[in-house]
Structure 1
Amino acid sequence: MDLAALRVRATTTFRTRRDQAKALVDRIPILGRLVNEFIRIEFIDRCMLIAAQGLLALIPMLVVLSAFLPHITGDAVRSFSDAAGVGHDGTQLIEGQVSADEVRTQTGLLGLVITIFSATSFARAIQRMYERIWEQPHVGGMSGARRCLLWLLGWMMTLQIAGALRRAFDGIGGLVGDGLALALQGLALSLIWWATSWVLLFGRVPWRSLAIGALLTGYLGVLYNRGSSLVMPPYVQANADQFGTLGVILAVSTWLIGFAAVMVGAALVGRIVSEDPTVTRLATSVWEATRRRQRSEVTTPAE
C-alpha cells in the first residue's frame, strides 16, 4: 500500500469537500450562521446538561409523585414512560425494585417537597438553554426559582393533558385519524413550548419571534415520540435483559439526550429562521397581502 499516495488523495478530497462547503455557505448565508450558532451555544454540552438534569431530577420527582399522588400524576408518568419507550415491562421491572409504599415511607412529606424543589434544576437547565440561544442575561435568585417551579408544575399538568389526548385519539383509526391526531398533538405541544419559551425567558423575547421555534419543537417532538414508540421498546428490553434496572435507566438517558437535541435544535433553528432577512421579507409580504385582502373584502359590500 502506497501510504504517501493515500495521504495525498485524502488531503485532496478533504480540501475539495471543504471548498464545496464554503461555497455552499457563501450561496446560502443562513447555513453559515446556523453552524456558528450551534458552536456558540455548545450544542452537545447543552443537550447533555438537559438530559442529565432530566435523569437526576425529573425522573425521581415523577417516581415520588406517582407514589404520593397516583390518581393525579398517573397520566403524566404513563405519558413519559410511553414516550421514552419504557413501556409496561420496564415499568414493572422498576416497580419490582421499589414499591410505592416504600417510597412513601422513606420519603415523607418533607422529602416530597425537597424532591419537587430539586426537580426545578431541570427547568433551570431549559431556562439557561433559551437564554443562551437568545443571548439574554440569566435571571436567577428567588424570581428565577419561582418561575421555574411554576413552569415545572404547569409542565406536569401538560403531561396529564397529553395522556388524555392520547386516550382520545386511540379510538380513531385509519390514515385520516392518524393524520388528525398528529396535527392536533403537534399543535398542542407547539402551544405548550411557545408558552414555555416565553415564560422561562421572562417575556424578554416577543411572542412572534418564538413562534417558529415552538412549532418546530412541537411537531418534531411528536415525530420523535412516535419514532421512539417503535425503536425504544426493544432497546429498553434488550438493556433490561442484560443489565436489569440499570439497563432501563441507561435506555431512558439515551432517550433524554435525543429529546434534548430536538428541543435545543428546534429552538435555535427557530431563532435563526425568524431573524433571517429573506424569511422576514417573505413573512411581511404575506402579512401585508392578507391584510389587503381583508380590507378589500370589508369595503366591497359597502360599495
Structure 2
Amino acid sequence: MTLAAQAFTSILPVLIVAGSVRGTLNPEANAMFADNLSLDDHTAQLLQQSLPEHIEGITLTQAVAAVLLVIAATAFARALERCYRRVWNTPRASIRFAWRWVAAIVAIVVGFVLVVTTRYVVRGTGAVPVLEFIIEATIWCVLWWIASWVVINRTVSLRALLPGSALAGLGFALAATLGRVYLPRVLASSADQFGVLGLAFSYVGWLFVLMSVLLAAITIGRVVHLTLVGHEWSRSGTAAAHRASGGSR
C-alpha cells in the first residue's frame, strides 16, 4: 500500500509533466496514452482535460519546480529501498549515496515510457500478441533489474537480483495483458460516477496490484537465489545470526 501511494504521488506527476512536454513536441502523442489503455471517447476526453496544456516555454520558475518535482519523486525510491533492505537484509546506505534515488526514478520513468512507446510501435507493425508479451516482459525485467540494483546501492549482485527481476517482468507483462481487458471498463465506470477523481481512485487500486506483484517477485526471487546457491532463508536472516551468537555463548 505504501509503494502504491508513493508511486501515485511521486512518479505519476513526473509522467504527467513528461507527457505534457512530449505532447508539445509531438501533438500526435497526446492520444497515445488513451489509445494504449483502450479508453472510450468520453473517458479519453476527460483524461485529456485533466492533463496540463501544451508548454509554450520554460521559465526559471518552471525549471526550478521540475527539479523539486524530481527530488520529491525520490520518495518512491526510498520506499522501494526499504522494501529491498527488508527482503535482502542489507545495511542502510549513507546519505552521500542519495544520488541513487534520483537515478532509480529516472530509470523507472524512462523504462515506463519505453514500455508504452514500444507497445504502441509493436501494435502498429501487426506483431502477434505473444511477441508483444515477450518484448514487454523483457523491458520490465531490465527496468527492475537496473532500478533495484541502483536503489539498493549495489550491495546485492546483479546475478542475485536477476530471478526477482525476471519474475517482476513476467508479472508486470501479465498484469498489463489483464489490465487491457479490465482497466477500460473500470476507468470508464469511475469516470462516469466521479469524474477525474474516479480515475485517480482506480489508478491507485491498480498501482496496489502492480506493487503487490513487485513485492511478491522480489521475495520469491530471493528464495530462488538462495535455493540455487544452496542456502536457506533462515540461515541468511538476522534472526539466524542472533540464534548463532546465542548458541556460541
- TM-score between both structures, scaled by the size of structure 1: 0.66
Structure 2 match to 1:49: 2
Change (3 A) 1:87 1:254: farther
Tell me which amino acid in the other structure corresponds to 1:272: V
Change (3 A) 1:200 1:99: closer
Instruction: Give CA deviations for 1:4-42 in whole Å, capped at 9, x if unaligned.
Output: xxxxxxxxxxxxxxxxxxxxxxxxxxxxxxxxxxxxxxx
8 Å CA contact 2:43–2:187 kept in 1: the answer is: yes
Tell me which amino acid in the other structure corresponds to 1:67: S
Q: Is residue 200 from structure 1 mapped to residue 154 from structure 2 by the alignment?
A: no
What are the residue-to-residue correspondences of 1:8-87 with 2, within 5 Å?
A: 48-70=1-23, 71=25, 78=32, 82=36
Structure 1 match to 2:45: 92
Following the alignment from structure 1 to structure 2, what is the Cα–Cα distance between the partners of residues 58 and 185?
20
Instruction: Give CA deviations for 1:141-181 in whole Å, capped at 9, x if unaligned.
Output: 2422x11112212222222321332133214557xx22222
8 Å CA contact 1:75–1:164 kept in 2: the answer is: no
Structure 2 match to 1:227: 178
- Which of 101, 115, 118 is the matching residue for 1:165? 118
8 Å CA contact 1:80–1:159 kept in 2: the answer is: no
Please, what is the CA RMSD of the aligned residues? Answer: 3.1
Please report how far the alpha carbon of residue 108 of structure 1 lies from its aligned counterpart in structure 2 after TM superposition: 2.3
* Greater mean alpha carbon deviation, residues 164-173 or residues 205-214: 164-173
Question: Of the two, which has the highest radius of gyration?
Answer: 1
- Which of 154, 163, 166 is the matching residue for 1:212? 163
Following the alignment from structure 1 to structure 2, what is the Cα–Cα distance between the partners of residues 172 and 215?
26
In structure 2, stretches of 5+ residues that fail to align are 231-249
8 Å CA contact 2:165–2:218 kept in 1: the answer is: yes
Structure 2 match to 1:261: 212
Tell me which amino acid in the other structure corresponds to 1:169: V
Q: Is residue 112 from structure 1 mapped to residue 63 from structure 2 by the alignment?
A: no
Give secondary structure in 2 for the equivalent of 1:64.
helix
What are the residue-to-residue correspondences of 1:222-301 with 2, within 5 Å?
A: 222-276=173-227, 279-280=228-229
8 Å CA contact 2:107–2:143 kept in 1: the answer is: no
Structure 1 match to 2:129: 178
Please report how far the alpha carbon of residue 124 of structure 1 lies from its aligned counterpart in structure 2 after TM superposition: 1.6
Tell me which amino acid in the other structure corresponds to 2:104: W
Following the alignment from structure 1 to structure 2, what is the Cα–Cα distance between the partners of residues 275 and 189?
23
Tell me which amino acid in the other structure corresponds to 1:58: I
Instruction: Give CA deviations for 1:187-216 in whole Å, capped at 9, x if unaligned.
Output: 222122111221111111122211110110
8 Å CA contact 1:213–1:270 kept in 2: the answer is: yes
Give secondary structure in 1 for the equivalent of 2:156.
coil
Following the alignment from structure 1 to structure 2, what is the Cα–Cα distance between the partners of residues 258 and 76?
26
Tell me which amino acid in the other structure corresponds to 2:68: I
Following the alignment from structure 1 to structure 2, what is the Cα–Cα distance between the partners of residues 179 and 195?
25
Change (3 A) 1:75 1:151: farther
Give secondary structure in 2 for the equivalent of 1:119.
helix
Structure 2 match to 1:137: 91
Following the alignment from structure 1 to structure 2, what is the Cα–Cα distance between the partners of residues 88 and 168?
22
Change (3 A) 1:91 1:53: farther
Following the alignment from structure 2 to structure 1, what is the Cα–Cα distance between the partners of residues 75 and 35?
21
Please report how far the alpha carbon of residue 77 of structure 1 lies from its aligned counterpart in structure 2 after TM superposition: 10
8 Å CA contact 1:76–1:163 kept in 2: the answer is: no
In structure 1, stretches of 5+ residues that fail to align are 1-47, 282-303
Please report how far the alpha carbon of residue 240 of structure 1 lies from its aligned counterpart in structure 2 after TM superposition: 0.8
Identity of aligned residues (%): 24
- TM-score between both structures, scaled by the size of structure 2: 0.79
Please report how far the alpha carbon of residue 95 of structure 1 lies from its aligned counterpart in structure 2 after TM superposition: 3.3
Higher share of residues assigned helix: 1
Give the paired residue count. Answer: 227
Structure 1 runs (4+) greater than 6 angstroms displaced: 74-77, 85-88, 102-107
Following the alignment from structure 1 to structure 2, what is the Cα–Cα distance between the partners of residues 147 and 75?
30
